[in-house]
Structure formats: structure tokens, C-alpha cells
Structure 1
Amino acid sequence: MVSGVYFCDASGKPILSRRYRDDIPLSAIDKFSQILLEHEEESSVVPPCLLYQGIHYLFIQHSDIYVVALTTSYQTNIAQIFMFLHQLVSVLGDYLKSVEEESIRDNFVIIYELLDEMMDYGIPQITETKMLKQYITQKSFKLIKAAKKKRNAARPPVALTNSVSWRQEGIKYKKNEAYLDIIESINMLMNQQGQVLRSEIIGEVKVKSRLSGMPDLKLGINDKGIFSKYLENEEDFSKPVQIINDDSTTNGKKSNIELEDLKFHQCVRLSKFENEKIITFIPPDGEFELMNYRLTTPIKPLIWCDINIQVHSKSRIEIHCRAKAQIKKKSIANNVEILIPVPDDADTPTFKYSHGSIKWLPEKNAILWKLRSFAGGKEYSMTAQLGLPSVDGIEPPKVKRPVQIKFQIPYFTTSGIQVRYLKINEPKLQYKSFPWVRYITQSGDDYTIR
């Protein structure tokens, strides 16, 4: 249980607080800035969980503020508290647009209302923005005016008294559809010789639900370690999915993969998953992230660049770049961007290229090569010449910054993950539903070549 939630400024001094229990002294948060300062002096890295005089200080940092939760119990679920703090910042972002010290001070009324509804006696309650916005608005004085009239008295939504707090009742659609987007982001570090030094796949399963009533969904994927032994019995009676131009790496064969670091949306029945390894859930209305995962299996570069830099007489630099799409021939990488760094004092560029477009970005000291579409197996090249200051005695320039690559490959997954079935059941309405699945592979935040 959480004894209190506090918002502190960059130095650790409290701005706003909400106490849920009386098992900690009022002055406990005043020690937070002192504890931070002591740990910063001892080490450059401050752990997110600090213990001082029997009180645990759990905190996250966002913009120029700290969001701190205090507790005295050793039986507290630490992961749950950190998830609540991150969700609290996300909800405040939906209400305040920008979560920072100034916005916290200017909107303390709405923040108190949210803290009262999101947590009760130190236990998280409602954390979905869609449900909170039904009865907490930015102009809270309207709720007070409405309460004076008995007919218009503000009442909590039905979903608050329901076991399904993330979805309201009475939702109706003329056409019932469910869309699944499996998006995999590739993070990779390569050296100049093409050797992969580090690689990982960060996956997300996003759902857009346009279903009436209170549907119950069952999802099956080809995970080797978790789901595969349960799929044979499920596939016979489950709802097939419609694939949007599928070109996944499995070529129609049922291969199994092993997912790591699974994280689910709160709508997933964890007890059902832990006992039977089946993903079942009642989805929120609209778009949400059902689950995410990580894979650390070795993979080859999907888009590879060979960069060669030559310096001529210290007055001119020549850059040769050869890019190759190492994907299947029927796959196409869209919106490929190759950012090539150049020396800080380079100028007067001239380009020769076989495909796409090239821009000179002096503010970034780089060349941006854009390829709108890059078919698998194709290879393109470009040459850039830039002038350098012609001064004797100056060492040849060295470019140490890495080459950054961005791309997006639709209808393709690197890991080979596949949705084998998506069963949609609404016991009361018994309508026909249309599930759709789309696969996308894209570059992550760190897809670079040294």
C-alpha cells in the first residue's frame, strides 16, 4: 500500500501531495531532497528506491519534476507502484498536455481530483483516461453547478461499479471490427565491416476495437515457450483472422518463437494466462496497447550501408555510400532515411546519386539520403563531395559519429511472430465480427553503423 503520493521540483522539494494513510509523519517528504543530495554526492546514478528511517521513497523523474510514492510496508508490490506512477504521469499528460512544475502548480484542483479517483487508501483503482474523463473534466466547476439540480446531478459512470473499469456498457457499432497491429522496432549496432555488435527486437501488439456490447476476445500467437502446446486444440474452433497483405518471414509455415519480457494491458486476465497460457480479455473501446515484448535473438541487418570516406589534399572530402536492402525481393522498405555525418567545417556540397533524393543539413553537419521505396535485393549508391578549409598544417578531418538509418517495412516481421487466431464472442448480441491483422517492421531509436 502507498502512504502518499507527492510531486516535487527538480531539487526534491514538495509542490503538491496527497496522503492516503497516516502511518508516515508529515515531514517525511521534506527529507527527500536531502536523501537525493547525499546519493548524488556518493554516486552519479541514484537508485529509484531509497530507504530512510524505515520509509521507502519510490520515485520517477519526468521533465523537471519528481513523482514520489512513500510506503512503510516491506510487502508492498514495488512493480505495481512504479506502473501506477508512470500511468499517473500519462493521465496528467492527457489532461494538462505538458506535465512540468508550472503546469502542476497551475492545475492543482484537477490533480487532486485525479489522485482521489485513481487511488483509494493507497491501492490503485481507476487508471484509464477514457473512464476518468467521463466525470472529471478540466473545468471542474461545471460538476458543482450540475450537482445543485437533482435531475442533472453528476453520477459516477456504470463502469466504476463494474469489474470492467476500462469499458463502459451500451457501446454499439453498425459494423463490428477489430484491428491488430503487430509493430516490431529493430535496434541494432553494426561496425563498418557489417558485423552486428548488438541487436534486439522490441514488439508491440496494438488493438483498435470497434465492437458492440461487452465482447470477450481470445488471442493465439505462435510463441514457442508459452503458447504453442495449447494451440492445437484451439485452432479447430477459433475465429480465423484476415491478414492485410501478409509477407511475414514464416512463408505460411507454422514456426514458433520465444518471447521475452512480456507486458500486458490491465484488461488481460492474468490468472487465465498464468494457469492456461491463453490471452483472453475484454478490450477497451478504441485504440490501446494489448501487450509488448522483447527478443534478443541474433538478426542480420535489414538495411545495410557501406560508407567510404576519402580526403583529398585536405581541401576536399569525398563520401561514397552504397545501400542495400537485405530483405525478400517481394518486400519493400518505405521512407528509408540514411543520415551520414560529415566534418563540422565542410561546405559547398555536390551530389551524384542513382535513386531517391539528397539534402544537405548544415545544422546537423550531415547529409540526408531519402529513399521513398527500397525493394528487397536492390542496391543503390550515392557520391558526395564537400569542400574543406585549405589551411596547411591541419590534420585530416575525422568523422566519429555513427551513420543513422530509419525505415519501415509493411507486411513483414523479423521475429516471425504470427497471429494464429482471434476469437470474438459477445454472449448477448451474438453478432458477426471481422478481425484484421497487420504486420510492420521498422527501425528503432538506435539503428546505427559505426
Structure 2
Amino acid sequence: MQQGAKRMPGTAVTKSVVANDPGGRRREQIFVDIIEKISVTFSSSGYILTSEIDGTIQMKSYLSGNPEIRLALNEDLDIGRGGGVSVYEYRSSPGSGVILDDCNFHESVRLDSSVPPDGEFPVMNYRMTQEFRPPFHVNTLIEEAGRLKAEVIIKIRAEFPSDIIANTITVQMPLPNYTCRASFELEHDAVGQKTDFKESSKMLECSLKKASFESLS
């Protein structure tokens, strides 16, 4: 692994890096995906209380001959917060923008290069608790509408640029165990949204096929 001055665009993670042999008969492929699980806790007024990212750089290699490859990290990346938190304690430059609390690499990875095994494997796992802007902002309002009835308003605002589209979004809200039924009201211009009440698990569920900044704001 090494620091790289050049950055690949976001769409690069969904495409393979392909090379043909001189005869053009073989296609050598390697796929790289970045998978992140984001956990954010909002207060009742919408402020962020806690935020954390658990991420994995996943690689699927179909390269013959076990060639050596190099995977560059962003130049503004720091690994370890000092004081022995991380065994790597990698520093790209003072005052960098992204700090990983900790990380671990696959056994095939060295800090200068690596020889990937065949098939799929995690190149790197990492964790970050540095403040970041979540892709969605959630606001909720709960009001009593009677002795055994409550009204819940959930608003989701997309925080990503308007030229980005999020696909297959599911919003779930747990309800009290004594809940027996629920009804839904969507905005009049809502498109591609479905709602459901999972009685067995006492869960409200709303799904969206796709969403952009304009459709959720």
C-alpha cells in the first residue's frame, strides 16, 4: 500500500481493470469495491450525537501469474490518532482531512505493494469516528393523537450533491409491542415509494427505489 497523489473517480470502483495478453485471447480482470456501514445517532432536534463508519476495501482478482500490484490511498489520509492507537500510525501530511481510528490489512498486503490471491478477499478493514457529513439527515416528530393513538412524522433530507442518485433505500422504525395497526400518508408528489407495517416484528418500513437531493429534501 502506498500514498498516491492521483485519485480515481467514484465510478472506478464499479469497473474492472482489464488487460489483454499480446495475443488478445485472455482478459485479466481485477475488481475493487469500497463498502461502508455508516452508523449515526440523531437527537430529537436533528443534531448528530454519535457517528461512525466501518469500511472494507474488497477486491476480486482474476489475474494469472500472481502479479504484484499497488493500491494507492488518498494523499489526505491519516491512520491512527496518536498515542499508540494504531500499529500503523501512517501520516500523509500535517493537518490531513481524513483520520482513520484503526485499520487492518489482508495478510498478502505489504505497505509498498501486494500479491493478491485468487478470488475475492478484503484488502483493508477500517474504522472512523471523525466527524463527517452523513449522506442523509433524519428528523422525526411524534405527537399523541388520542389515548391509544400517536402520529409520527419522518422527514429525510439528502445531504449529497444533486448529481448523485441513491438506489434502494429502506427506512425502518420500531414500534411498541402493543401496536396492532398502522396507516401511512405520503406526500402528494411521492414517486416510487412503498410503505408497510410488519406486524410480526412491529416495524414500520418505507422503501424508495431511488432518491436524489431534490426528491428527499
TM-score of the superposed pair, with normalisation by structure 1: 0.36
Q: CA deviation at 1:222?
A: 1.2
Alpha carbons 1:302, 1:325 under 8 Å: kept = yes
Encode CA deviations 1:312-358: one digit per residue, 9 max, x unaligned: 23143222222211211111222211112333333343221133000
Check if 1:335 corresponds to 2:168: yes
3-state DSSP class of the match of 1:347?
coil
Check if 1:213 corresponds to 2:65: yes
Aligned partner of 2:182 in structure 1 is: 349
Alpha carbons 2:181, 2:199 under 8 Å: kept = no
Which residue of 314, 320, 323 maps to 2:147?
Answer: 314
Consecutive unaligned residues of structure 2, counting only runs of 5 or more, are 1-24, 79-89
Aligned partner of 2:104 in structure 1 is: 263
Check if 1:363 corresponds to 2:204: no
Which residue of 181, 185, 188 maps to 2:37?
Answer: 185
Alpha carbons 2:61, 2:118 under 8 Å: kept = yes
Identity %: 28
Aligned partner of 2:16 in structure 1 is: none
Aligned partner of 1:447 in structure 2 is: none
Aligned partner of 2:27 in structure 1 is: 175
Divergent runs of 4+, >6 A? none
3-state DSSP class of the match of 2:99?
coil
Q: Residue 307 of structure 1 aligns to which amino acid in structure 2?
A: T
Higher strand share: 2
Alpha carbons 2:42, 2:138 under 8 Å: kept = no
- Distance in 1 (CA, whole Å) between partners of 2:201 and 2:159 is 28
Alpha carbons 2:99, 2:130 under 8 Å: kept = no
- Report the number of matched residues: 175
Consecutive unaligned residues of structure 1, counting only runs of 5 or more, are 1-172, 230-254, 381-450
TM-score of the superposed pair, with normalisation by structure 2: 0.72
Q: CA deviation at 1:368?
A: 0.6
Aligned partner of 2:213 in structure 1 is: 376
Higher helix share: 1
Q: CA deviation at 1:377?
A: 4.2
Alpha carbons 2:29, 2:63 under 8 Å: kept = yes
Encode CA deviations 1:90-130: one digit per residue, 9 max, x unaligned: xxxxxxxxxxxxxxxxxxxxxxxxxxxxxxxxxxxxxxxxx
Which residue of 280, 291, 300 maps to 2:133?
Answer: 300
- Distance in 1 (CA, whole Å) between partners of 2:47 and 2:180 is 32
Q: CA deviation at 1:284?
A: 0.3
Q: CA deviation at 1:256?
A: 5.6
Q: Residue 267 of structure 1 aligns to which amino acid in structure 2?
A: S
Q: Residue 374 of structure 1 aligns to which amino acid in structure 2?
A: A
CA RMSD of the aligned region, Å? 2.2
Q: Residue 333 of structure 1 aligns to which amino acid in structure 2?
A: A
CA shift in 2, pair 1:227/1:216, >3 Å: farther
